[in-house]
Structure formats: C-alpha cells, structure tokens
C-alpha cells in the first residue's frame, strides 16, 4: 500500500526539498499543493504545524491531510519543474531581496547573474562600513545557481536557491 506522500505525489521523483520557514514544531498537517500542470500528483507537499497550517503565504493548498509528525514544520517536497521552482523562489523571496524581477530579464541565467551582483555589492558595502553581512552566507550558493543556470542546468540552480531561501529566512 503506497504512503500518503506516494499517493499525493503521483509516485513521481522529488524535484526539490525546501525549508520555507524556521519552526521547531513537528508537522501535524500535510498540505497538498495544486495539481501538476501535466501528469498526476500535487505540485508540492508542505508539512505544517497547527500554527502555520492556518496561513502560509505563497503556499495555498488544494487540501490538508493529517500527518503524524513525520517531518518538521516548514518542510516542502517540491515536484514542480526546475523552471517552476525558480519562479517560486523569485515570487517568494528572491525579487524582494534583490529587486531583480525575472519578467525584466532574458532567462534565468541573466536573472541569477543580476541577483548575484546585487548580493555581492551589498556584502561589499557592508565590508567597507566594517560590518559583517548576513548575505555573505548566500554568495557561494547564489554563485553556483548562476553558473548552473548559465550552463542550462536549472535543476542545480533551483537546488542552490533552496539553500539561499533557508538563509533568507534569517534576514
């Protein structure tokens, strides 16, 4: 008998693992994202505690299911394409952090190159002022994302942005 995750995912391969919030609680709800654009299964599955199950901005679900605490709150299993995951990162945190809007650029390599430049400039500005920047933690992952996108490997770019997303939560 397949598990609830196997059923809801359509038994597809996992495209990405994200931690969209810092919450020490165990999940009690498994939120099923909307159906995939093509094929069967949910676009994503989010594990949420009771406090976050009532409203997680940017992650509206199709249905909620009881979860016996199998994951930490904020864990998202993402089954979307790499392109869709990159757009999700842009919508949820990248554009607001860097000011780089994907609609104004020519492809993800350009978007991530511009975002990398913005982050690097902010880290440099902090260093000139004699301060440490929390953005420093993102630079290596953003660089990997940008270089991967330039090679056309959007899956690696999306994975690197998932690490950046975790750092962005602390800002």
Q: Can you give the pLDDT at residue 38?
A: 66
Contacts of 123 (CB under 8 A, 6+ apart): 133, 135, 136, 139
Q: pTM for this structure?
A: 0.86
Sheet holding 75-78, edge to edge: 16-19, 75-78, 44-48, 29-32, 63-66
Q: Which of 37, 36, 30, 38 is nearest to 4 (CA)?
A: 30
Q: Can you give the pLDDT at residue 15?
A: 87
Q: Can you give the pLDDT at residue 168?
A: 87
- Cβ count within 10 A of residue 69: 12
Q: Which of 56, 12, 74 is nearest to 37 (CA)?
A: 12
pLDDT (tens, 9 = 90+) of the chain, 171 residues, equals 667 787 788 778 888 888 888 889 889 988 888 877 666 788 889 999 888 887 666 677 777 888 877 889 989 999 999 999 999 999 989 999 999 999 998 899 999 999 999 999 999 998 899 888 888 889 999 999 999 999 999 999 999 999 999 888 877
């Amino acid at each position: 008998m397949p598990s609830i995750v196997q059923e809801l995912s359509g038994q597809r391969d996992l495209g990405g693992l994200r931690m969209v919030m810092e919450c020490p609680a165990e999940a009690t709800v498994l939120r099923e994202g909307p159906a995939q654009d093509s094929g069967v299964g949910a676009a994503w599955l989010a594990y949420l505690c009771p406090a976050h199950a009532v409203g997680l901005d940017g992650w509206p679900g199709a249905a909620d299911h009881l979860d016996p605490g199998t994951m930490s709150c904020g864990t998202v299993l993402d089954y979307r394409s790499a392109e869709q995951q990159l757009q999700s990162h842009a919508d949820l945190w990248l554009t607001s952090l860097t000011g780089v809007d994907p609609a104004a650029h020519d492809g993800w390599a350009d978007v991530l190159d511009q975002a990398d430049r913005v982050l690097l400039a902010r880290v440099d500005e902090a260093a000139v002022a004699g301060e440490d920047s929390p953005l420093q933690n993102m630079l290596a992952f953003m660089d990997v994302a940008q270089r991967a996108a330039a090679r056309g490997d959007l899956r690696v770019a999306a994975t690197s942005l998932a690490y950046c997303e975790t750092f962005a939560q602390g800002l």
